[in-house]
A and B are shown apart, each in its own frame.
Chain A
Amino acid sequence: AQSVSQHNHHVILSEAASLELGCNYSYGGTVNLFWYVQYPGQHLQLLLKYFSGDPLVKGIKGFEAEFIKSKFSFNLRKPSVQWSDTAEYFCAVTPYSSASKIIFGSGTRLSIRP
């Protein structure tokens, strides 16, 4: 069965620190990859997505993620975090054969100390 693993349940950083959140997926075929974010009290929203092409994708608010096919990974990065980045981050995948069904990881809670 397809699955998504997020290695960190809770990450605490100070403002201006660099961020990397790990994500690995389990699926042998073609996939589409996503990072979703849920800010406190808000809806789940798309941060960035990878379908094909350049494996380094850029999203909103200075976030980027790199798809490494050989490692089945799609890690999220940001060079300098802000207090407003405090949120829950979900990595997700849609297998190409069932592309409408999103499979989410369990999420990483990011807390930024001002």
Chain B
Amino acid sequence: GAGVSQTPSNKVTEKGKYVELRCDPISGHTALYWYRQSLGQGPEFLIYFQGTGAADDSGLPNDRFFAVRPEGSVSTLKIQRTERGDSAVYLCASSLMGSGGHETQYFGPGTRLLVL
């Protein structure tokens, strides 16, 4: 079946604007994860959903970042008052049950965000 998809693939915005990034997980996967990858770095964890609820949001850098998953499938990462330092590739991943590190997380292609 289809893998994890993310839209848009690229997003250019101006400092101070609001952006939404969308993730469609693999069908049937209950766990969904957001990561952020800055240039020259590995992905950094942001938030993890188990079903509709955020099970761990300890990686969100500040209150400008927020994510939702209202129906337990598609998730939206929302960034308010964007700053140039938010420029990065935002990766989404999903796994079947989220029962821990014994599962494989499947990654999407990412959304490349550029804040001017």
Main secondary structure of the interface of B (DSSP, over half): loop
Task: Tell whether, in the assembled complex, residue A100 and residue B108 are in contact, meaning their CB atoms are under 8 Å apart.
Answer: no
Instruction: Give the A interface residue count (CB, 8 A).
Output: 23
Closest B residue to A44 by beta carbon equals B107
The verdict on A67 contacting chain B, using a C-beta distance below 8 Å, is no
A-B contact count (CB 8 A): 64
Closest A residue to B109 by beta carbon equals A43
Task: Tell whether, in the assembled complex, residue B56 and residue A101 are in contact, meaning their CB atoms are under 8 Å apart.
Answer: yes
Contacts of B91 in A (CB 8 A): 44
Among B33, B40, B56, point to the contact of A98 (Cβ < 8 A).
B56
> Which of chain A's residues 31-85 have a Cβ closer than 8 Å to chain B?
31-32, 43-46, 49, 51
Interface centre among A32, A46, A104, A105 (most CB of B within 10 A): A104
Interface centre among B43, B44, B59, B104 (most CB of A within 10 A): B43
Task: Tell whether, in the assembled complex, residue B59 and residue A107 are in contact, meaning their CB atoms are under 8 Å apart.
Answer: no
The verdict on B116 contacting chain A, using a C-beta distance below 8 Å, is no
Instruction: Give the B interface residue count (CB, 8 A).
Output: 29
Contacts of A106 in B (CB 8 A): 40-42
Nearest chain B CB to A70 CB, angstrom units: 21
The verdict on A94 contacting chain B, using a C-beta distance below 8 Å, is yes
Cα distance, A101 to B57, chains bound together (Å): 10
Task: Tell whether, in the assembled complex, residue A44 and residue B104 are in contact, meaning their CB atoms are under 8 Å apart.
Answer: no
> Which of chain B's residues 22-38 have a Cβ closer than 8 Å to chain A?
31, 33, 35
Among B42, B95, B102, B108, point to the contact of A92 (Cβ < 8 A).
B42
Task: Tell whether, in the assembled complex, residue A100 and residue B55 are in contact, meaning their CB atoms are under 8 Å apart.
Answer: yes
Interface centre among A98, A101, A103 (most CB of B within 10 A): A101
Contacts of B31 in A (CB 8 A): 100
Cα distance, A100 to B54, chains bound together (Å): 12
Cα distance, A65 to B27, chains bound together (Å): 31
A-to-B contact residues, CB < 8 Å: 4, 31-32, 43-46, 49, 51, 90, 92, 94, 96, 98-107
